Amino acid sequence: MADPAVQKFILKALMSLPSPVLRAMSGGGTVYRGGRTLDPRFQFLAAAAARMPSMTTLSPDEARSASAKGLAAMSGPAEPGVRNESLSIDGQDGPIRLRAYRPADQDGAAPLIVFAHFGGGVIGDLETCHAFCGILARIARTAVLSVDYRLAPDHRFPAGLDDVLAAFRWGRDNAARFGAPAGTAAIGGDSMGGNFAAVVAQEMKRTGEPQPALQLLVYPAVDVASETPSMTTYADAYPLSRPIMDWFMGHYIGADADPADPRLSPDRTADLSDLAPAVVVTAGFDPLVDQGEAYAKRLIAAGVPTTYRCYDSLAHGFTAFTGAVPAADAACREIARLVRAAFEASSPLSSRA
């Protein structure tokens, strides 16, 4: 197998080709589905992935290794002007690894963001969201605390969620250590991490604790039993397909778990009022796009200040593709600006969907 640096160089060269060439190399014309047009670089990557074994044929350990190698080639470089620090805190069942990001121009006004990576609760680690956390830190000018939570099937639901809850509470209580306002923190995540972030906000309400300063939900999985139209329209999408979603849930949810449990499916919670302001982001070519949009609309209907963005041409997991897909990099930077605007606003975020 080629050296990762060589793979990254080759991929960057390919991604610099004109869009018509990439579409031709993908074996077809423009991919248009559900009223959306797929970014040509994602189209090219999807065509290449179709020639590889599906994640559903791999063991969890094999999937983690393959995913880590693939994402290493896709991710962007470390964000300039951001330093990071490795930490470990005590969880209820052992240590939890964290990575803190702090920008050189942090002004101390923005809350710490505790962030959980994607991966269906089965794959992923601190490297999965490394580039995006750096972008968040620099552009939102705040500290970010990334969580290396436990993974299924060795640690099924709710182990990963419990780790993120513990990390959020620790980050909130130790925010001043990272140059952020004491006693408060925001929560964020993408995909399963977005699920955890939504649940954290709801759990704070259930336990009577202060709400997070903000909830950042990037293409969140908010209903693991959902059967929305996008599940069919984008059932074979790359990199997240319906079969891969089912593979994730087969490993993540134990036999005794109820998919309708709000800690698994936060969209099943009847009352969403009095939750933290939200920035909700979806990707167009994603089986989860409908449920993310629906959750944003429910938050708005419940009176929660919410900003919603859908990046129609992008696919699930785009936060990890900043080095391969320029539109993904641009989207990540816009998301960070939305977060900064939310922190700077003297009045609640304007609601729109």
Q: Which residues, in sequence order, are CB contacts of 93 under 8 Å at separation 6+? A: 150, 159, 162
| Phi, psi (rounded to 5 degrees) for 214 | -165, 150
Distance between CA atoms of 251 and 261, rounded to whole angstroms?
Answer: 17
Q: In the annotation, is 258 catalytic?
A: no
Q: In the annotation, is 155 catalytic?
A: no
Contact 313, 284 (CB under 8 A): yes
- The DSSP result for 163-219, as a single string, is HHHHHHHHHHHTGGGGTS-TT-EEEEEETHHHHHHHHHHHHHHHHTPPPPS-EEEES
Type of residue numbered 169: R
Cis before 153? omega within 30: yes
Q: Choose, from 117, 130, 251, 316, the residue flagged as catalytic.
A: 316
Q: In the annotation, is 316 catalytic?
A: yes
Contact 314, 284 (CB under 8 A): yes
Handedness of CA 209, 309, 322, 238 (dihedral sign): positive
Query: 3-class DSSP state for residue 51?
Result: coil
Q: Choose, from 26, 191, 241, 351, the residue flagged as catalytic.
A: 191
Q: Choose, from 286, 290, 313, 351, the residue flagged as catalytic.
A: 286
| Active site members | 191, 286, 316
